[in-house]
């Protein structure tokens, strides 16, 4: 490669590494896949319990359920109600859970459960079509009172938000306008009154019901809230304090829809809520989310479990390859067979380290002894290797049986080693022994095992297992690093030792 | 543990393994030319066209059934060498130096029957010594009679001269002497002695064994500082000529000096080792850079050899 053609090469490597890291970061943010293992995320489990007295007719119970609650995402929904038909229907912009049954009599209880994940950025309510204020007609003497109060509020405000705040303040009984307020509030629902007044002032307004999320609460009721439209999005106000915005622990169960609960064919219906705070592993959460999210197709969670576990293993291999590349190119450790250490390390992952090391060295040692006899037979290469493969299988079978009878289950783990690779290792070691002597066999054998153990330690770390499987795009980074090492022309660590005698000429 | 700092190595211009592979071998050596140097038979045929002499080819054994012919041919020979065409690092080479009635005498003095050599030939054909275990052919060459002036330094074996040729210019050279430790072979990593040679004159410089400087041959006990190679310029020219023959930009040329025939080419190496730098006590990089920075290359091997002798001569 000339100096000129290196620029695109390094640009490509930088691109690879940046792409890998940024895709991973993006998926971390979008899907919430955690960087570390064992991360937990809080989830609110809310259970709505509906009670009513059925009076022997066909029953249709319809409960408003959240669709897009600001600050929360819905993880799962489920209804429990024996004998009832259940469906979730979308009706004029609001979602309703509907239970139905013919011929019901007596006390009835229906349950609806949903899990919510707090997410500050979720579902800011921005309607595509701007809502219009509803025309309101007032009768005297309210009409005059409303006009006066609205006029005062308008004088003290500039925007729909400030107008709302001022109006709420004016409506408080301790205000100077006690006379007008008392007149209006008397006999009507305070919140409905606010909504009507705001609509009258040309600000689209509606009510909403919020649920205060606190761990282990039962029989909770919904708290009403006021929502106005500021020509951009729906804003929530506390109608009592005029405080704008929704507290973090308030889940809006109903927004905009007409009613919370309708029961046809029953009397005395009511709904109450129980709340439980759960934690689930962030990873599980991400896996569940990925099914719904458009980015999910990039992840491996949707494969059948069997393929998933295969990929768990496969995706560890690049780390082993990276390790081998580093050890050979930068450190300069001699191994027998370039990637034999990686395959041995993969086997170690299944056998665990110490039993794996014992099993491997004993198989190779016994194999070397037998190979000594084979070499005296003067066989052709192919049949010698073939014979060796069969011998290796005999050895592993023998070790397994012997180990089992002696009560070591670890003996059985030898079967995880790739037989053909072991046979080639033995062949190569044996030739090395004949040609270069036992010393070289020890050097290369120890080098291979050392690299295998290093690769194993990297591949077996929980963090690398987690990252390789959940962020497969990080392999771009591994690829980039390997390519980069392919261009490393500096001294290997071992060469600093090898060339030591050159000191005298310096 | 004793270490040298990377900075010191850079100062010395030591070429390292990674750099050799990336910047020299893969840049200057065409993959297609490799078979030409990895197969001694092909090498022999190719360089012959460029006037480079090699040991006389007596017989080529290509098939198992041709092995019996070997016995007929060897009938009235006293000395010869059997080599695998694709062998590397001197593996599988058997040198016969004489006869004792029906038996052959190996270089080590061991007597072996003809059947032993036939089995050896059979092993070579099966690929026992070839690079990737692929089937091979065996070549039988006449024995090199080393010039006595050089032969006395070597313990058994024939001393050979390794010259690194970069883009046709000889850049560094060393004499390799077999030792007891190297078992008569001239490979440095097996324990042969490497003696650096001055490109300008063919005079010996430093000597190393197992990467450590020495002054006397460990077995023959001879001082290694005043070796002088005869016909030095001719040898450099001959080595340079191999560049035209193979087109390999970075290679090692192994030569021997025969008492009767003069310099002969033993083999070519597309991946020459780095130990030659230690035998010379200097790094290759400054010399390689000097050649790379040449504005105008010399066209004939003679001119290149002469130019190299001029600029790479050591000034003591």
* Residue numbers in A near B208 (CB within 8 A): 501
- Give the integer Cα–Cα distance in Å for B264 and B238: 9
Average pLDDT over residues A348-377: 84
- Residue A448 near residue A335, CB atoms below 8 Å: yes
What confidence tier does A80 reach under pLDDT thresholds 50, 70, 90? confident
User: Can you give the C-alpha Rg of chain B in angstroms?
Assistant: 20
Q: Where are the domains of chain A?
A: 309-470
* Residue numbers in A near B8 (CB within 8 A): 502-503, 506
pLDDT at residue A179, as a whole number = 61
- Residue A346 near residue A502, CB atoms below 8 Å: no
pLDDT at residue B300, as a whole number = 92
pLDDT at residue A410, as a whole number = 60
* Residue numbers in B near A435 (CB within 8 A): 91
Q: CA–CA distance from A385 to each of A306, A389, A420, A428 (Å)?
A: 33, 6, 9, 10
Task: Mark which residues 418-457 of A lie under 8 Å from B by CB.
Answer: 435-436
Cβ–Cβ gap A378/B19 under 8 Å: no
**What percentage of chain A has pLDDT greater than the value 70?**
89
Q: What is the ipTM of this complex?
A: 0.80
The pLDDT profile of chain B, 316 residues, written as one tens digit per residue, is 688 888 989 988 999 999 999 899 999 998 888 888 888 999 999 999 998 999 999 889 998 888 888 888 888 787 888 999 988 777 788 888 888 878 888 877 888 888 888 888 988 888 878 766 688 899 999 988 888 888 888 887 788 899 999 999 999 999 999 888 877 777 888 888 999 999 999 898 889 888 888 888 888 888 888 888 888 999 999 999 999 999 899 999 999 998 888 899 998 999 998 989 988 988 999 999 999 998 888 889 999 999 999 999 886 5
DSSP string, A240-259: TT--BS--TTEEEEEES-S-
Identity of the residue in B8, B9, B23 whose CB atom sits nearest the CB atom of A489: B23
Name the most confidently modeled range: A66-70, A333-337, A375-379, B273-277: B273-277
**pTM exceeding the 0.80 threshold for the entire prediction:** no
Interface test with B, best of A382, A439, A500, A504 (most B CBs within 10 A): A500
What contacts B311, CB < 8 A, 6 or more positions away? B290
What would the pLDDT profile of A156-181 be if each residue is shown by its tens digit? 888 887 878 877 777 776 655 556 66
Cβ–Cβ gap A1/B277 under 8 Å: no
What would the pLDDT profile of B206-248 be if each residue is shown by its tens digit? 898 888 888 888 888 888 888 888 889 999 999 999 999 998 9
Domains of chain B: 12-53+147-311 (3.30.470.20), 57-142 (3.30.1490)
Residue A3 in contact with partner chain B when CB distance is under 8 A: no
* Chain B residue nearest residue A385, CA to CA: B133
Cβ–Cβ gap B278/A501 under 8 Å: yes
* Residue numbers in B near A381 (CB within 8 A): 126-128, 133
Cβ–Cβ gap B17/A435 under 8 Å: no
């Amino acid at each position: 490669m000339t100096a000129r053609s290196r620029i695109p090469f390094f640009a490509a490597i930088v691109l690879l590494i940046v792409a890998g890291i940024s895709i991973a970061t993006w998926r971390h943010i979008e899907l919430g896949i955690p960087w570390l293992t064992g991360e937990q995320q809080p989830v609110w489990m809310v259970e709505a319990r509906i009670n009513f007295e059925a009076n022997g007719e066909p029953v249709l119970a319809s409960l408003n359920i959240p669709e897009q609650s600001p600050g929360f995402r819905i993880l799962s929904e489920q209804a429990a109600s024996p004998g009832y038909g259940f469906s979730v229907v979308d009706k004029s912009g609001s979602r309703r859970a509907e239970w139905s049954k013919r011929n019901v009599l007596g006390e009835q209880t229906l349950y609806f459960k949903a899990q919510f994940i707090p997410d500050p950025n979720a579902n800011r309510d921005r309607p595509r079509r701007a809502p219009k204020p509803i025309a309101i007609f007032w009768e005297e003497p309210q009409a005059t009172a409303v006009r006066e109060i609205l006029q005062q509020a308008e004088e003290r405000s500039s925007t729909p938000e400030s107008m709302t705040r001022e109006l709420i303040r004016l409506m408080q009984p301790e205000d100077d306008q006690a006379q007008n307020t008392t007149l209006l509030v008397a006999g009507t629902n305070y919140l409905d009154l606010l909504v009507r007044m705001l609509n009258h002032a040309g600000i689209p307004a509606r009510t909403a019901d919020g649920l205060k999320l606190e761990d282990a609460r039962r029989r909770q009721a919904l708290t009403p809230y006021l929502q106005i439209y500021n020509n951009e999005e729906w804003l929530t106000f506390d109608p009592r304090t005029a405080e704008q915005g929704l507290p973090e622990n308030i889940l809006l169960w109903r927004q905009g829809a007409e009613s919370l609960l309708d029961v046809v064919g029953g009397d005395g219906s009511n709904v109450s809520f129980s709340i439980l705070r759960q934690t689930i592993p962030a990873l599980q959460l991400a896996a569940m989310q990925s099914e719904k999210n458009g980015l999910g197709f990039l992840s491996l969670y949707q494969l059948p479990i069997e393929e998933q576990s295969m990929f768990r293993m496969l995706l560890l291999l690049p780390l082993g390859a990276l390790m081998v590349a580093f050890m050979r190119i930068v450190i300069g450790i001699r191994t027998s067979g370039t990637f034999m250490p990686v395959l041995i390390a993969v086997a170690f992952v299944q056998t665990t380290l110490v039993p794996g090391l014992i099993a491997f060295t004993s198989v190779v040692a016994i194999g070397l002894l037998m190979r000594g006899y084979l070499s005296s037979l003067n066989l052709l290469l192919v049949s010698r290797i073939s014979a060796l493969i069969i011998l290796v299988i005999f050895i592993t079978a023998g070790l397994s049986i012997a180990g089992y009878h002696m009560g070591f289950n670890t003996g059985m783990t030898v079967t995880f080693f790739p037989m053909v690779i072991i046979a080639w290792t033995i062949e190569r070691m044996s030739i090395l022994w004949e040609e270069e002597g036992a010393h070289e066999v020890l050097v290369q054998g120890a080098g291979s095992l050392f690299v295998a153990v290093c690769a194993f330690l990297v591949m077996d770390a929980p963090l690398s297992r987690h990252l390789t499987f959940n962020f497969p795009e990080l392999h771009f980074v591994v690829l980039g690093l390997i390519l980069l090492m392919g261009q490393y022309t500096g001294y290997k660590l071992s060469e600093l030792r090898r060339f030591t005698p050159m000191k005298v000429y310096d | 543990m004793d270490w040298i700092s990377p900075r010191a190595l850079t100062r010395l211009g030591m070429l390292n393994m990674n750099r050799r592979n990336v910047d020299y071998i893969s840049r200057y050596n065409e993959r297609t030319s490799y078979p030409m140097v990895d197969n001694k038979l092909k090498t022999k045929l190719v360089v012959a066209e460029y006037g480079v002499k090699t040991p006389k080819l007596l017989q080529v054994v290509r098939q198992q059934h041709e092995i019996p012919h070997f016995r007929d041919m060897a009938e009235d020979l006293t000395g010869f060498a059997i080599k695998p065409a694709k062998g590397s690092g001197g593996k599988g080479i058997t040198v016969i130096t004489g006869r004792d009635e029906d038996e052959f005498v190996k270089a080590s003095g061991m007597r072996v029957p003809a059947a032993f050599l036939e089995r050896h030939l059979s092993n070579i054909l099966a690929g026992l010594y070839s690079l990737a275990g692929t089937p091979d052919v065996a070549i039988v060459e006449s024995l090199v009679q080393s010039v006595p002036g050089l032969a006395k330094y070597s313990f058994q074996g024939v001393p050979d001269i390794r010259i690194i040729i970069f883009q046709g210019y000889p850049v560094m050279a060393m004499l390799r002497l077999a030792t007891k430790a190297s078992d008569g072979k001239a490979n440095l990593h097996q324990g042969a002695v490497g003696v650096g040679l001055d490109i300008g004159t063919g005079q010996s410089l430093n000597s190393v064994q197992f990467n450590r400087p020495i002054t006397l041959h460990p077995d023959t006990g001879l001082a290694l500082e005043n070796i002088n190679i005869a016909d030095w310029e001719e040898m450099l020219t001959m080595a340079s000529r191999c560049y035209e023959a193979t087109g390999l930009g970075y290679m090692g040329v192994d030569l021997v000096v025969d008492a009767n025939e003069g310099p002969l080419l033993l083999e070519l190496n597309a991946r020459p080792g780095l130990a030659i730098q230690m035998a010379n006590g200097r790094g290759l990089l400054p010399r390689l850079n000097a050649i790379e920075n040449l504005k105008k290359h010399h066209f004939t091997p003679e001119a290149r050899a002469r130019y190299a002798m001029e600029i790479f001569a050591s000034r003591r």
